[in-house]
Structure 1
Amino acid sequence: MRAGLVIVGIVLLVAGIWVTLGKGTYRQTDTVAQLGPARIEATHEKAVPQWLGIAGIVVGGLLAIGGFAKKG
């Protein structure tokens, strides 16, 4: 169980740092115009919000620390 917490925490931590540095993007496709069955679409690259990266760092750090902490 602890190893799982540590692994998930480290993955979230790394992903949060990646997003915070501005490297995380996703694609969004919008319909610009449509005339009958013909459609014009545009695909945009958008950045993942920075607050998600910060939340990933915080949650990942807490999970990693919780996994490393010894139960006394």
Structure 2
Amino acid sequence: MNGLIRQYLPKGIDLNQADQHYLNQVAMSLNTRPRKALDWLTSLEKFAQLVNYHKAFKTVSPYVRIRHL
């Protein structure tokens, strides 16, 4: 992922000085890019697929379990 971000934002850039609109465009560009690791789905498509799966089988819990080591 870091390499993909570097296509848009050079190393050493201060993200606090970056334009929020541009950062939003970068995020959208990365999230709508097909990925081999996701069987050529985009991150947004895969996320929607997982949400729909969990809704269908009601496996989403409203509570987050914290595992103590």
Scaled by the length of structure 2, what TM-score is found? 0.31
Scaled by the length of structure 1, what TM-score is found? 0.30
Higher strand share: 1
Of structures 1 and 2, the one scoring higher in RCO (CA 8 A, sep 6+) is 1
